[in-house]
């Protein structure tokens, strides 16, 4: 189909999209307004990945003002804002000081998810701190990371990158059923689930399959769109 129709087609199938361009380049107000104006995109909920300046360059050192300024995106998107996702690099290991620095800088008024790429963050100290702060622990399906769903808030967040190779995996029905069972059993009010881009473009089919597996659960438990 013509490229201008791509997003409308996407929006006819899925409820939400995760914006990753914002990780590489700080979005302007015009950028964010353009997301809202995309043809066929009315009602689509945008989750926005915070800029690497915060997570990879400064690594949460003195970034409270940057995080606050980035949060203006939510004011522009209004009811179409989903989560703010903070992804940390694999080299960033857990310490109590780092955990405290992260939690102290995140605005409790915003819906936030933290994605760690180092398995040292899968521990009870982290879970407890995020629960107390109302921050979502991002469960991450990826090589050398714990294959489990962690819930630290009323909502869960899952990113599926590929079990054995990053961005190069076609999830089987058995693997997706396992995630569907975990999500249903979590008791979460809402689940944010995203498949990463992969080299062979399996993500759309995998997402549709998991979407279908969760359909009965969605009809029973789906909450109103976030405000």
pLDDT of residue 163: 79
DSSP 55: I
Cα-based angle 21, 137, 144 (whole degrees, multiple of 5): 80
The yes-or-no verdict on residue 222 having pLDDT over 70 is no
CA distance 165 to 162: 6
pTM of the model: 0.91
Q: What is the pLDDT of residues 16-58, one digit of tens each?
A: 999 999 999 999 999 999 998 887 878 899 999 999 999 999 9
Q: What is the pLDDT of residues 63-107, one digit of tens each?
A: 999 999 999 999 999 999 999 999 999 999 999 999 999 999 999
Please spell the DSSP secondary structure of 39-52, one letter per residue. TT-TTPEEEEEPPH
Overall CATH class of domain 14-134 = alpha beta
CA distance 49 to 85: 5
The yes-or-no verdict on residue 148 having pLDDT over 90 is yes
Return the domain boundaries, the chain: 14-134, 140-221
CA distance 92 to 34: 34
pLDDT of residue 40: 80
pLDDT of residue 198: 80
Q: What residues contact residue 13 under an 8 Å CB cut-off, 6+ apart?
A: 208, 211
Give mean pLDDT, residues 143-160.
95
pLDDT of residue 218: 60
The yes-or-no verdict on residue 112 having pLDDT over 60 is yes
């Amino acid at each position: 189909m013509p490229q201008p129709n791509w997003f409308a087609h996407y929006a006819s199938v899925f409820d939400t999209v995760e914006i990753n361009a914002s990780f590489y380049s700080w979005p302007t107000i015009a950028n964010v307004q353009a997301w809202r104006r995309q043809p066929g995109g009315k009602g689509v909920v945008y989750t926005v990945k915070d800029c690497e300046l915060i997570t990879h360059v400064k690594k949460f050192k003195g970034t409270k003002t940057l995080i606050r300024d980035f949060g203006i995106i939510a004011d522009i998107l209004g009811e179409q804002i989903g989560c703010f996702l903070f992804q940390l690099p694999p080299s960033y290991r857990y310490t109590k000081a780092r955990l405290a620095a992260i939690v102290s800088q995140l605005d409790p008024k915003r819906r936030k998810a933290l994605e760690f790429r180092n398995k040292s963050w899968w521990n009870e100290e982290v879970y407890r701190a995020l629960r107390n702060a109302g921050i979502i622990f991002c469960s991450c399906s990826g090589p050398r990371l714990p294959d489990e769903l962690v819930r630290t808030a009323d909502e869960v967040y899952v990113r599926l990158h590929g079990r054995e190779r990053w961005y190069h995996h076609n999830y089987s029905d058995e693997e997706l059923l396992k995630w569907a069972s975990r999500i249903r059993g979590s008791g979460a009010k809402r689940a944010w689930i995203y498949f990463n881009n992969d080299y062979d473009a399996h993500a759309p089919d995998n997402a549709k399959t998991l979407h279908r597996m969760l359909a009965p659960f969605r009809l029973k438990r789906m909450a109103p769109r976030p405000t």
